[in-house]
Amino acid sequence: MSLPGSRFAEVYRTGRRTRRGGLTVITAEGAGGLPEVGIVVGRKVGNAVRRNRVKRRIREAACRVELRDDRAYVVVAAPEAGDVGFGEIVGWLTEAVAVDAP
């Protein structure tokens, strides 16, 4: 389910961006099979402990949201992603992924 490094860079560079709340979701054609997901949480979100917590929350949210099998996703967290509850993150991710739905 994770996105390999070279593929990550390609999706980040060429994918379609959708922003919802504190998350930007970049989507591109996947390699088939399971959806591929990469997560970016920069230093503006907070210290290492806070960034890791946000990554864990986004990872769990991605498991709960209906992702398309033929897509690759890169989720970029903005600083406000560290200040909201888990339900809000799931909502943002759900809305952003729904924009890309067929």
Express each pLDDT in 73-99 by its tens digit: 999 999 999 999 999 999 999 999 998
CATH of the domain at 77: 3.30.230.10
Domain that holds residue 70: 5-99
Residues 6+ apart with CB under 8 A from 1: 34, 35, 36, 37, 62
Please tell me the distance from the alpha carbon of residue 66 to that of residue 79, in angstroms, as a whole number: 25
Express each pLDDT in 10-32 by its tens digit: 999 999 999 999 999 999 997 77
How far is residue 35 from each of residues 25, 63, 74, measured CA to CA in Å?
13, 10, 11
Note whether 32 and 77 are within 8 A (CB). Answer: no
**Residue whose entry in the numeric block shows the structure tokens 């922003």:** 19
This prediction's pTM: 0.91
Counting the structural domains of the chain, the total is 1
Please tell me the distance from the alpha carbon of residue 82 to that of residue 60, in angstroms, as a whole number: 15
Q: Provide the phi-psi class of 86: left if phi over 0, else alpha when psi is between -120 and 50, else beta.
A: alpha
Task: Give bridge partners of residue 16 from the DSSP assignment.
Answer: 27
**For position 81, what pLDDT does the model report?**
95
Note whether 59 and 78 are within 8 A (CB). Answer: no
